[in-house]
Each structure stands twice: as structure tokens, then as C-alpha cells.
Amino acid sequence: MRGTIGMVAGPALAGLLLALWGVAGADLTNPLIGIVRAGFMADAWGVSAAIWIGGLVCLADVIATGYALPRFWSYRSSLAQHPH
């Protein structure tokens, strides 16, 4: 999905997307950290609590990122506006 966003974003957002990929670990580190977090939380509080807390933290991160980067909220692809 990130590759698709990168292709339609164009040069205007290319630098920002590259920076976000660096923060996210380029699909290597970030999922592994999440797996370790989920394992520790499931061991400490149970599987159900680990899933709920992880989901709520993910939702909070998406909302916080949206407010921190308002250009993502207002971005509209020219392909989405005029499909041919």
C-alpha cells in the first residue's frame, strides 16, 4: 500500500513519504516491535487485552498523525478525482 501511495503522490510528497518510511522501519523493524509488544502484553494481561490495547494505540497513532500532518487529510489524487 505504501508503494501505491508513493506512486500517486508525486514529487510534492516524495520527501515526506521517504521520511515516514524511515520512521516506520521500512517494513522490517516496525512489525517485529509490534509482535514483541503484543507477546509481552498478552503474557502480562491476556490475549484479549493485548489485542484491544494494541488496536486502541494504533487508532490513536493514526489520529495523531493525521492532526500532525494535515496535508495528508487534504491530499486528493488527481487519479481519484478524474478516473479514466
pLDDT digits (tens, 9 = 90+) for 30-75: 667 778 888 999 999 999 999 999 899 889 988 888 888 877 777 7
Q: What are the DSSP calls for 33-60, one per residue?
A: HHHHHHHHHHHHH-HHHHHHHHHHHHHH
**In the predicted model, is pLDDT for residue 19 greater than 90?**
no
What was the pLDDT predicted at 35?
82
Helix, strand, coil % over all residues of the chain, rounded to 5: 85, 0, 15
Nearest to 3 by CA among 31, 30, 24, 29: 24
Which residues 6+ apart lie within 8 Å of 5 measured at CB?
Answer: 17
